[in-house]
Amino acid sequence: MFSISKDYAPPFGMIAPFFVIGSIFFFLGTLFLLLLDPGKGHFDPMIAGWVHWFLLGFVMMIIFGAMAQLIPVVVEVGHHSVDLYYVIWPLLLAGTLAMVAGFWAWPAVLPYGGLLVLTAMLIYLYDTLMTLRKVQNVTLTVKTAVAANLFLTTGIVVGFVMTLAIGAGVDVDISWWLGTHAVLVLGGYVVLTIMGLSLILLPMFGLAHGFDERPVELAFNLMLGGVLLHLFSTMIGFAFGRFAAVFVMIVAIGLYLWQVYLIYKVRARKENDIWARSMFFGYGSLVVAVLLAIPAAIFGGERLILASAWFLILGFVTFLITGHLYKIIPFLVWFERYSPLVGKQRVPMLQEMYPKGMADMEFAFSATGVVVAGSGILFGVRDLYYGGVILLIVGAGFLLASVKWMLVFGKEESENQ
Amino acid sequence: MCDITKEQVYDAISNVIDPEVGFNLVEMGLIYDAIIDDDCNVKVVMTLSTRGCPLHQMLTQWVKDAVETRVPGVKNAEVEVVWEPEWNISMADDNVKKALGAL
């Protein structure tokens, strides 16, 4: 009975590469922002390449690593085949590099990169769905995970077809399908996954209980409906359906934000550590992204679209990930190096296992950088954009150093025992 | 007849610390009861601060170990995790509430 916890937990050596690679992609991704021209449209290959670098190399890499550990904890069954994670990160890494090379220099490479990424995603999907099949108690989080993974696969297949159009001349209207590709991957996977996981993680870390869950249930159903409406409208060429789908998704996000507020209101743990501050900034950025998305959907406008995407990706998604890194990595290290020592000697608390000073610097530089550069994009001031990016680069450097600090915590001591 | 007291069991469990919050399980209010039978078998009834706790199995194992190794005369310790009543911060000691900012 008591060995289950160990069975659930994947080996540290299996998950660590996801966090190391993800952090390196994050740091290099902020450097590459200097190569972009914020005055260009979102169809610009340099911007498209950067988005894939960041979303695949940083966001997906970290989410997959976190999922390897979180899925069994959340659904209370072991992985179907956890060893598959040993092949997921090399495939995702190689595919991402090939795709970015395709966008930036050699379009013919793009389909090969797309195929590698698709393969990594399918392996991840196989393990996740087979794991979820074993679950007895089908909660909202489980349903969200199933839907999100199906959307991810559909989104990647759509993306793969688009790479064939760019790299191999297959006849597909990229401008028509690009929006649906983004909706499936960003709305259908990233946002839905965050919705599902945050329903577990926010109350867990904030010690919140007894809150109403109806807003997130409605948000989940609306998000599901919005993504499907966008997909089918694209398939049948129904422009108004796509327009309506965007608003359905905006309402879903609004309800989700209301849910986050309800959890925040009843939380017992009120200390504002790096995790809490990252959550505040992340959700604040989501509000800004939604407020910019509304006029962007009605009136159009490249600067509004890019600024909304900026606050969604660099503000919301990034800060939710970086904030949780300060919780997840110390836990994994503690579990690997200190859990066997409990009762035999003093073991550190998780709060002692991240570098508070560096984390504070990371937060200050990154948050200021997101706001300054985002304002530069919105108001069309290039100097503001590049100034903000410099701040982001410094922040990303502190994050990289923090991740290294956390990963080696107690390593020497552990090896000497 | 067994002369082990509930206080001894609670004292033993107070050595088990939740590494996430840094408080022991007793002051967190997570231990609901300790039932001691005539043969000195101990059953600890406890809860966790959240259902998705990644340390679920380890915490219960630590409680079992603490009772069996720190309370003299215990024949066997068993741990039952219950979800009713649901834990909330009002069950914690004042020092915990104060440290977490809930007081």
Closest Cβ–Cβ partner in B15, B52, B57 for A200 = B52
The verdict on A134 touching B (C-beta cutoff 8 Å) is no
- Residue A137, number of CB atoms within 10 A of its CB: 9
N- to C-terminal Cα distance for chain A? 28
B20–A342 C-beta distance less than 8 A: no
Res. A6: pLDDT tops 50: no
Mean pLDDT confidence for A240-251: 92
- B96: CB partners within 8 A, 6+ apart: B21, B23, B27, B28, B29, B89
User: Complex ipTM, two decimals?
Assistant: 0.78
Give the right CATH number for B6-96 from 1.10.10.10, 3.30.300.130, 3.65.10.10, 2.60.120.10: 3.30.300.130
Measured between beta carbons, which residues in chain B are less than 8 angstroms from residue A268?
Answer: 88-89, 92, 97, 100, 102
- What are the distances in angstroms from CA A53 to CA A96, A145, A159, B69? 6, 24, 14, 53
pLDDT band, very low/low/confident/very high, at A8 (cuts 50, 70, 90): low
| Min Cα–Cα distance to chain A from B17, Å | 9
Measured between beta carbons, which residues in chain B are less than 8 angstroms from residue A354?
Answer: none
The verdict on B61 touching A (C-beta cutoff 8 Å) is yes
pLDDT band, very low/low/confident/very high, at A339 (cuts 50, 70, 90): confident
Do the Cβ atoms of B67 and B78 come closer than 8 Å? no
Q: Report pLDDT digits (tens) over A394-404.
A: 999 999 999 99
Do the Cβ atoms of A192 and A220 come closer than 8 Å? yes
Alpha-helical segments (H) within A300-381: 302-310, 318-337, 356-379
Q: What backbone phi and psi angles, to 5 degrees, belong to B88?
A: -145, 170
- B90: CB partners within 8 A, 6+ apart: none
The verdict on A5 touching B (C-beta cutoff 8 Å) is yes
Rounded percentage of chain B residues whose pLDDT exceeds 70: 99
N- to C-terminal Cα distance for chain B? 43
Q: What backbone phi and psi angles, to 5 degrees, belong to A276?
A: -65, -45
Do the Cβ atoms of B26 and B61 come closer than 8 Å? no
Cα–Cα distance, A393 to A365 (Å, whole number): 8
Closest Cβ–Cβ partner in A5, A270, A342 for B56 = A5
The verdict on B80 touching A (C-beta cutoff 8 Å) is no
- Note the pLDDT of residue A5: 42
Query: Which of A19-28, A198-207, A395-404, B65-74 has the least mean pLDDT?
Result: A198-207
A347–B53 C-beta distance less than 8 A: no
> pTM for this one?
0.86
Measured between beta carbons, which residues in chain A are less than 8 angstroms from residue B102?
Answer: 268-270
pLDDT band, very low/low/confident/very high, at A3 (cuts 50, 70, 90): very low
Measured between beta carbons, which residues in chain B are less than 8 angstroms from residue A4?
Answer: 57
| Min Cα–Cα distance to chain B from A270, Å | 5
Res. A29: pLDDT tops 80: yes
Res. A9: pLDDT tops 70: no
Question: How is chain A split into domains, by residue range?
Answer: 302-405
